[in-house]
């Protein structure tokens, strides 16, 4: 209990000092895991200066995936999307940093890889929209909702990143 309190206190103290107050949810989809892109994707976020606060390899249940993609439930591709996301392991992550949601979306590229610029994850590694390697929250509100779906509070780690003073 004391550790949890200190962890929360540390997070809010760091937020007050650095202005860093955002977290985002990033998931390497089954095709990205199968293609062994997890390390490359993680490396890009680390090189950018974002802090990893949670990571796990998981096989998502259909119920979790239906809840995660709830806003797409009326789309004709919803069932196929849930099936695809349930087809193999997913690497779920939470990243923290200044404007991390907006910046991560730019790093990912467009949902349709054909519209993604070289240098983005989808621009470099994807061909088809149905196999676009990665998911990222599209807003701070979505990030909060998605993080709470995929991680329990005690799985989110507050730790001091010694490089943060060189980034912020």
Q: Nearest 5°: phi and psi at 58?
A: -145, 155
Question: 111 labelled as ligand-binding?
Answer: yes
Question: Of the listed 43, 68, 135, 157, which one is catalytic?
Answer: 135
Question: 45 labelled as ligand-binding?
Answer: no
User: Is 157 one of the annotated active-site residues of the chain?
Assistant: no
Give CA–CA dist 33/31, Å, rounded: 5
Question: 145 labelled as ligand-binding?
Answer: no
> Can you give the C-alpha Rg of the chain in angstroms?
16
In Å, how far from its chain's centre is CA 133? 12
Give CA–CA dist 83/76, Å, rounded: 13
Question: 132 labelled as ligand-binding?
Answer: yes
Question: 29 labelled as ligand-binding?
Answer: yes
Site of tokens 């995929």: 150
Instruction: Please give the annotated binding residues for ATP, written as ranges.
Output: 29, 77, 105, 111, 122, 132
Instruction: Please give the annotated binding residues, written as ranges.
Output: 29, 77, 105, 111, 122, 132
* Residues forming the active site: 135
């Amino acid at each position: 209990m004391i550790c949890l309190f200190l962890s929360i206190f540390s997070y809010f103290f760091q937020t007050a000092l650095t202005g860093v107050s955002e977290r985002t949810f990033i998931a390497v989809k089954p095709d990205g895991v199968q293609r062994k892109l997890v390390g490359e994707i993680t490396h890009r976020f680390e090189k950018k200066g974002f802090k990893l606060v949670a990571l796990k390899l998981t096989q998502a249940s259909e119920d979790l995936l239906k809840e995660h993609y709830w806003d797409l439930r009326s789309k004709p591709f919803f069932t196929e999307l849930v099936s695809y996301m349930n087809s193999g392991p997913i690497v779920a992550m939470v990243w923290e940093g200044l404007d991390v949601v907006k910046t991560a979306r730019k790093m990912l590229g467009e949902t349709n890889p054909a519209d993604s610029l070289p240098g983005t994850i989808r621009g470099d590694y994807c061909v088809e929209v149905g196999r676009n390697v990665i998911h990222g929250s599209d807003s701070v509100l979505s990030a909060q909702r998605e993080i709470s779906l995929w991680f329990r509070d005690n799985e989110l780690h507050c730790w001091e990143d010694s490089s943060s003073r060189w980034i912020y």
